[in-house]
C-alpha cells in the first residue's frame, strides 16, 4: 500500500478503536492521512497520532469522502448502517463487528491463515472474526496444516474486557465492594463476576448454545474452508481483566505426535510456544496482555479420542482478537 492512503477509524474512542490507533502507529502503517470518527458526544475530542493531535469528527453518512480504508471498531448496528456508505464513497471496510461475518460475499480473514481471501471482497467489506475464534485458530491452524483438522471441542475462559469498559468497571466495583463489606452492583453480567465464573457469554439460542459458542462453529468453518468441521464450544466469563484463554481438544485426520505438533509452531507468525510444564511454563493471561502474539502450551495427546491433541492457548482479545487483526488485514491490502 502506498504512502498516500487515507485511513479512517470508526468508533475511535472505544476500547478497540483506541487499540487500532496504537497499532497503526506502532506498526508504522503507510498512510498520508488519518480520520477519526465517533458519535456526536465524542466529536471534538482529540487523540495524538505520530506526534500530532487529531480532532475526532462526528460519524455521518458523508464522512467517507476520499477515504481508502475504513476500520470499523463500533457495534454491529453502526456497521450495518454506515459501512455501505463507506463502500459507496470508495473505501474498503474492515469491520470488527459480527454484522457481515457470515455473508458469503464478505471474506472472514485471519491474515496468518487466509490472507488471500482479503483480496476477494466483492462487496468492499472484509470481516474481522470473533476474538475467541481468532485466538483458537491461531493455535489450531499450524496443526491443521500438518495433520488435517477434523473436530474441535473448546472451552473458553473470557476476560471481562470482552464486554467493554463496563465489564472491567463491574469487576473492579465488585472486588472493591466485597473487600469493604459493601453491596455489589450487578448490571453487565447476570451473576456476580468477582470471584466467580459464568458459563454464559452472549445470548442463548435454540439447542442450548449461545451465539458466542456458535460463532466458533460457523466462523471456523468459513475461515478454514472446512464446511463439515465439527465444533462443540462452551464459553465462560472469568474474573480476568484482559486476554482470553481457550482449552482445546482437536481431532485430526492423521495420527498425531506431540513432538511434531510442537515443531509446527516453530517460526510460525503470531504464535509462540510456551510449553514446559516441568518448569511451570505455560501460557497465562497476564503474559499476553498488551502483547501481539498468542501463546500456546500444555500440548498432549488426548486420552479419549484417537488422533487427537489437547492444548491451551491464550491471547489478548483486544489486540489479536480485534484491533491488531483488523490492522493486519489492512496491511494485506
pLDDT at 1: 46
For residue 127, CA distances in Å to 20, 73, 94, 212 come to 15, 11, 6, 16
What does the domain layout of the chain look like in residue ranges?
6-128+323-332, 133-317
Exposure string over 112-144, b if 16+ CB within 10 A, otherwise e: bbbbebbeebeebbbbbbbbbbbbbbbbbbbbb
Which superfamily is assigned to 6-128+323-332 in CATH?
A: NAD(P)-binding Rossmann-like Domain (3.40.50.720)
Q: Are 74 and 11 in contact (CB under 8 A)?
A: yes
The CATH architecture one would assign to domain 133-317 is 2-Layer Sandwich (3.30)
**What average pLDDT does the segment 123-144 reach?**
98
Question: pLDDT band for position 2 (50/70/90)?
Answer: low
**What average pLDDT does the segment 80-104 reach?**
97
pLDDT at 3: 66
φ, ψ of residue 42 in degrees (nearest 5): -95, -15
Structure confidence by residue, pLDDT tens digits, 181-226: 999 999 999 999 999 999 999 999 999 999 999 999 999 999 999 9
Residues that are catalytic: 131, 244
- As a whole number of angstroms, the distance between CA 45 and CA 60 comes to 16
**What average pLDDT does the segment 36-60 reach?**
96
* Partner residues linked to 157 by β-bridges: 236, 245
pLDDT at 4: 82
Cell 497465562, residue located: 284
pTM surpassing 0.85? yes
Q: Are 56 and 44 in contact (CB under 8 A)?
A: yes
Amino acid at each position: 500500500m502506498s504512502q498516500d492512503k487515507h485511513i479512517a477509524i470508526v468508533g475511535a474512542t472505544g476500547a478497540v478503536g483506541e487499540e487500532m490507533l496504537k497499532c497503526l502507529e506502532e506498526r508504522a502503517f503507510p498512510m498520508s492521512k488519518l480520520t477519526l470518527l465517533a458519535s456526536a458526544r465524542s466529536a471534538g475530542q482529540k487523540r495524538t497520532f505520530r506526534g500530532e493531535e487529531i480532532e475526532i469528527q462526528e460519524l455521518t453518512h458523508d464522512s467517507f469522502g476520499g477515504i481508502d480504508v475504513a476500520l470499523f471498531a463500533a457495534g454491529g448496528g453502526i456497521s450495518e448502517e454506515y459501512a455501505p456508505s463507506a463502500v459507496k464513497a470508495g473505501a474498503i471496510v474492515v469491520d470488527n463487528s459480527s454484522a457481515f461475518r457470515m455473508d458469503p460475499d464478505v471474506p472472514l480473514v485471519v491474515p496468518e491463515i487466509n490472507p488471500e481471501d482479503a483480496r476477494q471482497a466483492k462487496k468492499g467489506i472484509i470481516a474481522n472474526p470473533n476474538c475467541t475464534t481468532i485466538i483458537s485458530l491461531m493455535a489450531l491452524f499450524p496443526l491443521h496444516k500438518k495433520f488435517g483438522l477434523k473436530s474441535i471441542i473448546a472451552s473458553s475462559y473470557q476476560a471481562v474486557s470482552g464486554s467493554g469498559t463496563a465489564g472491567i468497571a463491574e469487576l473492579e466495583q465488585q472486588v472493591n465492594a466485597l473487600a469493604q463489606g459493601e453491596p455489589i452492583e450487578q448490571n453487565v453480567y447476570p451473576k456476580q463476576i468477582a470471584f466467580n465464573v459464568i458459563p454464559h457469554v452472549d445470548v442463548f439460542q435454540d439447542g442450548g448454545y449461545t451465539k458466542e459458542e456458535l460463532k466458533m462453529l460457523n466462523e471456523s468453518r468459513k475461515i478454514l474452508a472446512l464446511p463439515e468441521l465439527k465444533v462443540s464450544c462452551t464459553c465462560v466469563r472469568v474474573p480476568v481483566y484482559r486476554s482470553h484463554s481457550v482449552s482445546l481438544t482437536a481431532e485430526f485426520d492423521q495420527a498425531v505426535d506431540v513432538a511434531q505438533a510442537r515443531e509446527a509452531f516453530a517460526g510460525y507468525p503470531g504464535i509462540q510456544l510456551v510449553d514446559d510444564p516441568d518448569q511451570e511454563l505455560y501460557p497465562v493471561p497476564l503474559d499476553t496482555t498488551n502483547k501481539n502474539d498468542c501463546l500456546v502450551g500444555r500440548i498432549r495427546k488426548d486420552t479419549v479420542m484417537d488422533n487427537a491433541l489437547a492444548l491451551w492457548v491464550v491471547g489478548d482479545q483486544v489486540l489479536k482478537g480485534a484491533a491488531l487483526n483488523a490492522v493486519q488485514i489492512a496491511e494485506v491490502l
